[in-house]
Amino acid sequence: MANLNDVFTGKSLKASDLQGRDVTLTISDVQVVEFDDGPKLEISFDGTGRTFICNKTNAGLIAEHHGMVYTDWPGKAITIYPTRTDFGGKMVPCIRVRAPEEIQGAQQPSAPAPPETLDNGAEVPF
């Protein structure tokens, strides 16, 4: 079936890429990238070819757990999950962040978590 998400893939993660799942990833790099509406953080992850364009809200959530110095974030794990938010009066899909222990009920792992898998056993497609 023809799907717009198959055409507009890009290197940045979209909420639909998560397929409704929470995914825990280890940050490998954080860069400041300029956009028309100002700077944002571009976060790369170990073992993926995709990046996450991090807005101020998500950056603040990461900072709550990993500190305000974003150059210290590589090597730290975060959990990203799809949800919806109000944007210009419309509810739109988005990605939010939380600390892994918030869903695991345990301390943050010292080693990277194993790859997330879908219900059919396939690895998360990014």
Residue ranges covered by each domain of the chain: 9-99
pLDDT at site 109: 45
Helix (H), strand (E) counts: the chain:
3, 5
Q: What is the distance between the alpha carbons of residues 12 and 49, in angstroms, rounded to a whole number?
A: 9
pTM: 0.74
pLDDT at site 69: 97
pLDDT at site 20: 93
CB 19 within 8 A of CB 124: yes
Q: Comparing C-alpha atoms, which of 72, 74, 96, 102 is closest to residue 83? A: 96
Which regions of the chain are under pLDDT 50?
103, 106-113, 118-122
pLDDT at site 100: 85
Angle at 52 between CA 105 and CA 7, to 5 degrees: 120
Residue 28 token pair: 């490998």
pLDDT at site 86: 93
How many CB atoms lie under 10 A from the CB of residue 65?
A: 17
Angle at 96 between CA 93 and CA 101, to 5 degrees: 145
pLDDT at site 49: 87
